[in-house]
Amino acid sequence: MDISRFEDTIAATATLPGTGAITVIRVSGTDALAAVDRVVTFRRGTVASAPAQTIKYGTIFRNGAVVDEVLVSVFRAPHSYTGEDSAEISCHASPYISSEILRLLCEAGVRPADPGEFTRRAFVNGKLDLAQAEAVADVILSKTESSLRVAQNQLRGGYSSHLKDLRERLVEMTSLLELELDFSEEDVEFADRPKLLGLIDATLSRINRLTESFRYGNALRNGVPVAIVGAVNSGKSTLLNALLEDDRALVSDVAGTTRDTVEETLTLGGILFRFIDTAGLRETSDSVESMGIDRSYRKLSEASVVLAVLDLSRPEEENEAVITDIVSKVDFGHQMLMILLNKADLLSDNINVIDGYNNVSIAGNKSVMMHISAKTGSGIEMLKDLLIESQKGLSAESDETIVTNLRHYEALRKAGKALEAARAALASGLPSDLVAEDLRQANYHLGSILGEVTDDEILGRIFERFCIGK
């Protein structure tokens, strides 16, 4: 974005027209208050002369006809969202009314705001750092209490404070090493090597914890991926419908009905789950079905939880072959496996038919086996409870700093690699300038998260994802 555009006064609707009783139109910039005065008629005084944090009642006319009666909230720099003089016009939620007001504002010298431009101005004017600015979008898009709690913590600066503390440590280390370079001919050491190694280890440990938290943070933001896998006609689509309590997936007695993945989200216990119904696993010569099966295995590998659905009406050896195949592809270090013995409603009183499945090698508390009937709903509530329990680390009660942003994750990972290089260089007795360069790289990557070191292209990519009016 051309930096000169920040000299413009901008306006946009901050709410979706027609979705409620009122629409709010936000105006910001050096000419914001004067521009509003050119559009709104007040009985007494003007917005430009009104005290900050006040509300004025006025009327908007066009060609002598009343467009609407409005309330105008006044904010003065630097005590506004953007840090500039700003006003918010509250009008009736008619798309026609809001478009007319925006048209009048443009005629008064205001231009339409770009996506995310209000928040970008808040960043440029020092009201928010970049991590906080990105958290604004996360707050708006949060779908659960847990994701909202994490986004609000980042918006309040808890995450940024953590990163700034790490950067201060790195600056301290780097400055001591660079001081040695100024006295290189005198062969003196200002940085105690064992202490410096300890500081690097402690900083690296904190960065690694943040990096590892991304798996949970990504699940909080986008939903815990749950893959529903199994043989054809084992009841996978019926299970998805039972979990959602809706006929979302097509159910048929014809084998191979599901040829592509079907994804839906559901909030359970304040946690967002993303359920993925997959194509049935079997040998096939159908090229389209084969593509669906390949996709099933890919979704299985990407899931945090795997729901393996077995049809109890089928021969035991057939089911054992299916579950053995699924278990061989589950990473028990990062995935939870739930073996669901479906169609339990077809069983007689003797349910020992599943004894043979106990021969399958599965990892301790990373797996569970239970009877369900997706058709009748038996066991579905227990399954939901187990899903919530499996993700209890994502509870909204936690105040731990969690990384939810892919850009932040990549920057932290690069910072960690730079610190590992610094540690190796220090342990090998390499010159101070090489160690200092690795520390500077680590500091650079952490600074890129906060926006303390960045470029306009990166900022453009970040803020273009924002909605108009924010």
Domain layout of the chain by residue ranges = 3-129, 136-213+403-451, 219-394
Alpha-carbon 58 to chain mean position = 40
Q: 56: part of which helix (H) or strand (E)?
A: strand 54-62
Asked if pLDDT for residue 253 goes beyond 80, the answer is no
The backbone torsions φ and ψ at residue 11, rounded to the nearest 5 degrees and listed phi first, read -150, 150
Note the helical H segments in 30-157: 32-39, 95-107, 117-124, 130-141, 145-155
Least confident of 97-106, 333-342, 422-431: 422-431
SS3 243: helix
Structure tokens at 262: 């079907």
The count of residues in the chain is 470
Query: Which pTM does this prediction carry?
Result: 0.73
pLDDT value at residue 393: 62
Report the SS3 class of residue 178.
Answer: helix
Looking at residue 330, what is its pLDDT?
A: 87
Domain with residues 136-213+403-451, CATH architecture: Up-down Bundle (1.20)
pLDDT band at 175 (very low <50, low <70, confident <90, very high): confident
Q: Which residue has the tokens 């917005």?
A: 47
The percent of residues in the chain predicted with pLDDT above 70, rounded, is: 83
Helix (H) or strand (E) holding 74: strand 65-75
Q: How confident is the model at residue 29 (pLDDT cuts 50, 70, 90)?
A: very high
pLDDT in tens, 346-387: 775 544 444 434 434 444 567 888 899 988 888 999 999 999
Query: d(Cα 442, Cα 415) in Å, to the nearest integer?
Result: 4
CA 298, distance to chain mean position in Å, is 22
Q: What is the pLDDT of residue 252?
A: 47
Residue 189: is its pLDDT beyond 60?
Answer: no
The residue among 92 and 151 whose pLDDT is bigger is 92
Q: What is the DSSP letter of 382?
A: H
- Low-confidence winner among 99-108, 138-147, 253-262 (lowest mean pLDDT): 253-262
Burial bucket for residue 105 (CB in 10 Å: 0-12, 13-18, 19+): buried
Mean pLDDT score, 418-432: 86
Does the 219-394 domain belong in CATH 3.40.50.300?
Answer: yes
Q: Using pLDDT thresholds of 50, 70 and 90, give the confidence band for residue 2.
A: low
- Range with the largest mean pLDDT of 37-51, 168-182, 228-242: 37-51
| pLDDT for 394 | 59
Q: Collect all residues with Cβ–Cβ distance below 8 Å to 358 and sequence separation of at least 6.
A: none
DSSP conformational letter for 370:
E
More confident residue, 350 or 443: 443
Please check whether the domain covering 3-129 is classified as CATH 3.30.1360.120. yes
pLDDT number for residue 39: 97
Residue 191 banded pLDDT, cuts 50, 70, 90: low
Q: Chain-centre distance of CA 403, in angstroms?
A: 9
